[in-house]
Amino acid sequence: MMRERVQGSVSRFAWGVALSIAGLGLACGNGGASSAAEDANGGSASFQSTACERDGRKDIYTAGLAKQNAGVRVAVVEANPSPPRKGANTMTLEVTDASGKPLDGASVVVTPWMPDHAHGSALAPLATSVGAGRYAVSKLYFPMAGLWQITVSVQPPGLATEDVTFNFCFDG
Side by side, the strands of the sheet bearing 107-114 are 119-120, 107-114, 146-155, 162-170
Contact between 58 and Cu ion (CB under 5 A)? no
Residue 59 CA to residue 83 CA, distance in Å, equals: 11
Residue 92 CA to residue 78 CA, distance in Å, equals: 5
Interface with Cu ion by CB under 5 A: which range of 37-45, 116-124, 127-135, 158-166?
116-124
Instruction: Out of 76, 95, 144, 152, point to the residue binding Cu ion (CB under 5 A).
Output: 144
Q: Where are the alpha helices (DSSP H) in 28-69?
A: 33-42, 51-54
Q: Indicate the residue among 79 and 114 with the shorter CB distance to Cu ion.
A: 114
Interface with Cu ion by CB under 5 A: which range of 47-55, 85-93, 111-119, 122-130?
111-119
Min CB(144)–Cu ion separation in Å: 5
Residue 147 CA to residue 160 CA, distance in Å, equals: 28
Contact between 154 and Cu ion (CB under 5 A)? no
Residues lying near Cu ion in the complex (CB under 5 A): 114, 117, 144
